[in-house]
Amino acid sequence: MTELGFIGLGVMGGRITERLLDAGYPVTGYNRTKSKAQWLLEKGMKWADSPRELTEKVDIVFSMVTNTDAVRAITSGENGILAGLSPGKVYINMSTSSPEFSRELATQVAALDAVMLDSPVSGSVSTILEGELSLMVSGDYESFERVLPVLKAIGPKVTHVGENGLAVVMKIATNLSLSVQMVAMSEAVLMCEKNGIGRECALEILLQSVIASPMIAYRGPAILGMREEEEVWFNCNMMQKDMLLALELGRKLDVALPTTAITNELYTATRGIGVDHFDMAAVFDVLALMAGAKSSIVSTTD
């Protein structure tokens, strides 16, 4: 059976690896902090001590790390993915990184007679658990068709976008929309609240209206209360990383992104008020502070 490897076993990467294991694939994993992968080792995942070692052992290598610098760190050097690639292997990068860097990396992989595909995902932990994750893939189409059964074990919605880098562009476009939606919804709730409509009531009605989206459905309730001890799927800094990638692309292509630019400043303010480590929904607190309304952050002593 096809041997798989997964590098980056964080909140999302760990759950994707779990799905691959549950589908019956042999998976070898690597994470900078091994202890965070213990639960996967107990489920049957094998371990490698470096990205290179992992790559040498498997047929298809996946990676999902935080940003462009992190992708560069796991792919380069004597212990990186590139050092372990050999002809016929496929490297699938699921990270949201710079499209330009992705294309450069694909060229380096091709020089080794291997293939690189970009495959960022749209969804959250709950989407993975429900088996509804959406994947965007770019790169060589024949290689895409060859690995499609593996990708469908991760999520049922798999779309080929085009040449390397374009799936990442699609992911960035998706995420800039998520951040702007979150801000618009927060403004609507606060306007209602300041007029005397309870926050919970306003949110309930909005979730039943035409503005409701899957993202609003699973992130909207966070404005009713977030706690420090809760697992964070995608924090404010991660969201801003994607908005900055969007703004960079917009400048290069002469595409004005005014709502993204304004939303980006609000996410900068999450660091100013100390809520950037919370889920991206914590941008609500910036607007709440500006409106003189109650924070969504619940003290651990409450």
The 10s digit of each residue's pLDDT in 263-300 is 999 999 999 999 999 999 999 999 999 999 999 997 54
Average pLDDT, the chain: 95
Structure tokens at 123: 């969804």
pLDDT tens-place string over residues 160-178: 999 999 999 999 999 999 9
pLDDT tens-place string over residues 214-248: 888 888 999 999 988 777 889 999 999 999 999 99
189 & 234 share domain: yes
148 & 277 share domain: no
Please give the pLDDT value at position 299: 58
Please give the pLDDT value at position 118: 98
Structural domain range at position 67: 4-163
Please give the pLDDT value at position 302: 44
* Interacting residues of 133 by C-beta distance below 8 A, sequence separation 6+: 16, 121, 122, 123, 127, 154, 155, 156, 157
Which CATH number belongs to the domain containing residue 13 in this structure? 3.40.50.720
Please give the pLDDT value at position 126: 82
Q: Which H or E run contains 34?
A: none
Please give the pLDDT value at position 218: 84
Cβ atoms of residues 6 and 27 within 8 Å? yes
Domain closes at, from 139, 163, 187: 163
User: What number is the average pLDDT over the span 69-80?
Assistant: 97
Domain closes at, from 163, 187, 221: 163
Q: Rounded to whole angstroms, how far apart are CA atoms 179 and 236? A: 9
Going by C-alpha positions, the residue among 97, 90, 56, 107 that lies closest to residue 73 is: 97
193 & 284 share domain: yes
The pLDDT confidence band at residue 301, using thresholds 50, 70 and 90, is: very low
Which CATH number belongs to the domain containing residue 177 in this structure? 1.10.1040.10
- Is the model's pLDDT at 113 over the cut of 60? yes
198 & 144 share domain: no
